[in-house]
Amino acid sequence: MDTFLQACANGLMIGGFYSLMGMGQNIIFGVMKIINFCHGEMLMVGMYLTYAFHVYFGIDPYLAMPLVALVMFAMGALFQHTLITPSLGTHSFTNLLFLTVGMGVLLTNLAQVIFSSDYRTITTDYSSKILAFGPVTVALPKVVSFCVLIIISIALFFFLKYTPIGKQIRAVSQNPLGAQVVGIDAKRIYRITYGLGAALAGLSGALLTLFYVINPTAGSNFGFRALIVVVVGGLGSIPGAFFAGIFLGLLETLVSLFIGPSLRTLVVFATFIVILVIRQNILLRRR
Amino acid sequence: MRTPQKIALLILVAVMLALPQFIADMPYIVNVLILAFYMTTMSMAWNLLGGMTGQNSIGHACFMGIGAYTSVLCVVKFGMNPWVSLVVAVVVTALITGLVFSQCFILRGPYFTLVTIAFAEAVRQVILNWDFAGKAIGVGLPYVRGNNWLLFSFRDKAIYYYVAFAMMVGVYLLMKRIDNSKLGFALKTIREDEDVAAAIGIRPLKYKVIAVVISASVSAVAGFFYAGYYRYIDPNIMLQSASVELVLPAIIGGSAFVEGPLVGGILMVSLSEYLRNTFGGILPGINLILYAVVLIVVIRFRPTGILGWLHGRRTRKEGKA
């Protein structure tokens, strides 16, 4: 029972990250109908930014978060403005897909050239503290990260629901043409959306740094799981993404507990394919 | 094709055929060219599904991996002749992909891409957990002395060169043939608009399954060659990054053209291998940075690829004249 609870706690923690990544991917996919294949790599960039702030400027990883978010937002907006927006005009799904894939390859290998492929970690004086909740023990940074993550998710939900920019993002995602007719600058919304997605990925990275190894391929695990979260949680739904992420995290840890850690990825991916196919079959039948 | 083009093509083929005789003392260059032929073949296989049918797969390394693993396991565990194992590998790959993707082709656009990624990773995980397939360590082919056609093992790199070249040319001719056939037109119609295709009597599901089966079979042949050349395979040949790498030549060359992967493959693989060899020691990953930069620049400024750009210029010139 204790191991079960412990596994649930771990699943919850890692699931929170899948949720946050999924939310970023969700708004990008919702607004521009493209898959952002460099989402995991952006998380990795966020990790290295946090690392750089910590090592070169001595900033605590949690205090570096606003800076990381800002830098990532600027990077994302620039990438969107210079590369993706012009390519959206060609209506070539293949090109858009491989544009982000190429960006991912570029980011991974740039990180490898700049920081080499060594595994790096950030240690602070509180990173080895452990909290006990009854039989379950969790490292302090994990708890803090999880709380911050929940706050960001709620803030994002309210941002999209009630602020003017949030409403514009939702409008463009529902009907780009209609949104432009009522005077919304779609290109500006694209920039903001992509920047926001990049910032969310960067924040996930910053939150991960205290208990995860930093290396150029650290993001690849999270990138694809963010896509699973989008598909399972439903397009345009922030609460859906949140619960899908938690569900995915729990599924992974429980599968490793009951079936075996080495089969974890296989079960998750096979489940994903089955969910996709069944979901599409239901959609087709409903039509 | 006009006569000067035909002559140029003949000269090119003749040069390619004669090349190993002149560079026999530079095994590294022969190796790069073999790799370029192999990548081009894979890229052409991808292009049948991605460029011609418009179904973007990021899981082709897995088709190649299934082929390579089937043939190697047949040889090592069942003592089969490599050439028989090639047939088994193609049949097994075609069956697996046909069965799986006949279910998955109701998914369109991005969702199909997601399935190919998940499928490739799932297959990799199966191999990683399967004792019979050597788990993470991989499997190696037995050592063979000298050049042996029957066991598909050669001491001479030049023979591998000719085999790879023949494979590439064969696949090119196959693709060219498909491009001009009823099948090719059906696939291109599906790429442009699936609903229209269905309305005029082309069954999208049937043709997409045919495309993926041919594409996967060609990948399996390439996988057989890969295993025969390196004599050793491990699950890392199916990594997502491998799948991505073999798509790039097609996009850079121009995915709407049968020749696209050919141009992109020969150009990019030679360049990237040269960079890896020259700077790889100081800056690992530099070749992939170049790959990514060229890809991004091509997509941003020449969305139809190198061939699309050249083609557009020629038609514009002819229009003026």
Give pLDDT tens digits for A210-243. 888 888 888 888 888 888 888 888 777 788 888 8
Nearest Cα of chain A lies from the Cα of B15 at a distance, in angstroms, of 33
Contact between B295 and A98 using a beta-carbon 8 Å cutoff? yes
Return the ∠ at Cα B79 (arms to B77 and B84), rounded to 5°.
110
Q: Looking at residue A209, what DSSP letter applies?
A: G
Residues of A in contact with B111 (CB under 8 A): 231, 276, 280
Domain carrying residue B68: 3-320
Tokens of A87: 């390519």
Contact between B118 and A269 using a beta-carbon 8 Å cutoff? yes
Nearest Cα of chain B lies from the Cα of A125 at a distance, in angstroms, of 34
- Bridge partners of residue A130, in order along the sequence: A139
Nearest Cα of chain A lies from the Cα of B105 at a distance, in angstroms, of 9
Contact between A92 and B303 using a beta-carbon 8 Å cutoff? yes
Residues of B in contact with A216 (CB under 8 A): 285
Report yes or no: A282 at the B interface, CB cutoff 8 Å. no
Nearest Cα of chain A lies from the Cα of B209 at a distance, in angstroms, of 16
Nearest Cα of chain B lies from the Cα of A6 at a distance, in angstroms, of 25
Tokens of B146: 């000298």
Tokens of B197: 């295709």
Contact between A280 and B296 using a beta-carbon 8 Å cutoff? no
The domain locations on chain A are 2-261
Q: What is the pTM of this model?
A: 0.87
**Strand B139-140 to B232-233 pairing:** antiparallel
Phi–psi pair at A125, nearest 5 degrees: -70, -15
Per-residue pLDDT of chain B (321 residues; tens, 9 = 90+): 667 777 888 888 888 777 777 776 777 888 888 888 999 999 999 999 888 888 888 889 999 999 999 999 988 888 888 888 899 999 999 999 999 888 888 888 888 888 898 889 889 988 988 888 778 888 888 877 777 777 777 777 888 888 999 999 999 999 999 988 999 899 989 888 888 888 888 888 889 999 999 999 999 999 999 998 888 888 888 888 888 888 888 888 888 888 888 888 888 888 888 787 777 677 777 888 888 888 888 888 888 888 888 887 776 666 554
Tokens of A39: 């989402």
Specify burial of residue A211 (Cβ count, 10 A radius: 0-12, 13-18, 19+). middle
Tokens of A36: 């952002």
Contact between B300 and A90 using a beta-carbon 8 Å cutoff? no
Candidate from B106, B240, B292 with C-beta closest to A102: B292
Task: Give, in order, the Cα–Cα distances in Å from B121 to each of A269, B23, B114, B117.
Answer: 7, 39, 11, 6
Residues of A in contact with B110 (CB under 8 A): 29, 33-35, 93, 97
Contact between A94 and B54 using a beta-carbon 8 Å cutoff? yes
CA distance A27 to A163: 15
Report yes or no: A283 at the B interface, CB cutoff 8 Å. no
Report yes or no: A235 at the B interface, CB cutoff 8 Å. no
Interface confidence, given as ipTM, is 0.85
Return the ∠ at Cα B41 (arms to B40 and B46), rounded to 5°.
95
Report yes or no: A106 at the B interface, CB cutoff 8 Å. yes
Q: How many CB atoms lie within 10 A of CB B95?
A: 13
Q: Please tell me the CATH code under which domain A2-261 is placed.
A: 1.10.3470
Q: Which of A91, A99, A207, A60 is nearest to A148 (CA)?
A: A207
DSSP 3-state helix, strand, coil percentages of chain B (rounded to 5)?
A: 80, 0, 20
Which single residue is written with the structure tokens 């779609």? A186
Cβ(B193)–Cβ(B35) under 8 Å? no
Report yes or no: A78 at the B interface, CB cutoff 8 Å. no
Give pLDDT tens digits for B82-122. 888 899 999 999 999 999 888 888 888 888 888 898 889 88
CA distance A48 to A30: 28
CA distance B268 to A213: 33
Strands (E), chain A: 130-133, 136-139
Candidate from A90, A103, A281 with C-beta closest to B106: A281
Q: How many domains does chain B have?
A: 1
Strands (E), B159-269: 232-233
Q: Which amino acid is at B305?
A: G
Q: Which of A219, A271, A239, A241 is nearest to A25 (CA)?
A: A241
Nearest Cα of chain A lies from the Cα of B123 at a distance, in angstroms, of 8
